[in-house]
A = this chain, B = another copy of it.
């Protein structure tokens, strides 16, 4: 996840795993297969988590969506698993079987889950009628994108970086989009899960002290 497929040497993987090069080959017949196994295992975790959440939920659909997205961020976006997004994005075209796998195991289930939640909101009269898939995309994209971003740029020391706090971005995103979903958006944005003042002082645009790599 740090370097991508090609730039990662089998030897280092083995070293970090605490075994020797040869041992790796007792479990995976090739670098490609090892790679695919890494993707598969990490994705399985993703799916599993999604399904846990998908269980019965009692509150409003807004709250449910906020919950889902927030949990996704906490469990995936902030963990090492984020890298999986980067690597899949970067390598699908070189490992075509990956595409099918990812579609089946991640994209479809994820889409299904989000669509179901939005539909629930519509059915209960909470949300305006909206195109499901497209909204699901709009809901998820900024979060995954942020994860991608943090995983790649976040790891590089950059002068003048816009120091967006993921927590706040998530908040803004939910605020905005749930606001947009509501049948009759009230004057004041009540839809937020946790009430927060619009933009707390927290000074932005400060050159954040670069966190060294490694």
Q: Do the beta carbons of B156 and A146 come within 8 Å of each other? A: no
Residues of B within 8 A of A54 (CB): none
Name A172's contact: one of B3, B131, B156 (CB within 8 Å). Answer: B131
Contacts A90-B90, A93-B156, A198-B130 given: A169-B137 contact, CB under 8 Å? yes
Q: Among B99, B132, B155, point to the contact of A93 (Cβ < 8 A).
A: B155
Shortest beta-carbon distance from A49 to chain B in Å: 19
12 contacts between A and B (CB under 8 A): A4-B4, A6-B7, A99-B158, A100-B158, A108-B160, A112-B206, A131-B172, A131-B200, A132-B205, A135-B176, A137-B142, A179-B179
**Number of A residues whose C-beta is below 8 Å from B?**
85
Interface: A34 (CB within 8 A): no
Task: List residues 119-141 of chain A with CB under 8 A from any CB of chain B.
Answer: 119, 128-135, 137-138, 141
Cα–Cα distance between A156 and B202 once the two chains are bound (Å): 43
